Amino acid sequence: MGKGKRGFNAPSKKDIRKVAHTYANLNKDKVGKMLSIAMDGQIRVGAHSSSPSARATPLDPYPKYLIELQHELPWNGLTPALGRAHNTCAEAHIWCELKARGKNPRNYTVLSFNTDGVVASPCANCAQWVEGAFGYVYKETPRYEGRPRQKPV
């Protein structure tokens, strides 16, 4: 385990890659999406990138979370660096899910990857806020490289 910001214990590279490949295999149907997982010991919360739907449903409560947490969203006041809103990214979905469950995202390691399990640093939008919102952000490159094997469609 490595130390992240605030002395947070991060999972090992081997554990990270195992989780990424396992979750990617379970989500092969999410072609063109980026996936993220937040981990704290054995607790794992996963999400994929997508625009918020117009209405919350039992299977997709994210739109409700955006309303309930609107004054706490870590990307409030930030100008998106990309041509899409901050709330479309998997990391935003995870942050909201953790907060809605009464969890502190700063107690979690966040990991982003594609449906092939290729680990990617957060995109330019997420790079604006994830470091301060989660306990540790796992990345193998200093920034999102946008390579075809990483890049979401």
Query: What's the pTM value of the predicted model, to 2 decimals?
Result: 0.82
Domains of the chain: 2-138 (3.40.140)
Q: Say yes or no to pLDDT of 47 above 50.
A: yes
Are 137 and 131 spatial neighbours (Cβ–Cβ below 8 Å)?
yes
Which has more pLDDT, 127 or 15? 127
Q: Is 4 left (phi over 0), alpha (psi -120 to 50) or beta?
A: beta
Q: Where are the beta strands (DSSP E) in 33-100?
A: 34-40, 43-48
pLDDT, tens digit (0-9, with 9 covering 90-100), for 124-143: 899 999 999 999 998 877 66
pLDDT, tens digit (0-9, with 9 covering 90-100), for 103-122: 999 999 999 888 888 888 88
So what's the pLDDT on residue 60? 85
So what's the pLDDT on residue 145? 63
So what's the pLDDT on residue 97? 94
Share of the chain above pLDDT 70, in %: 85
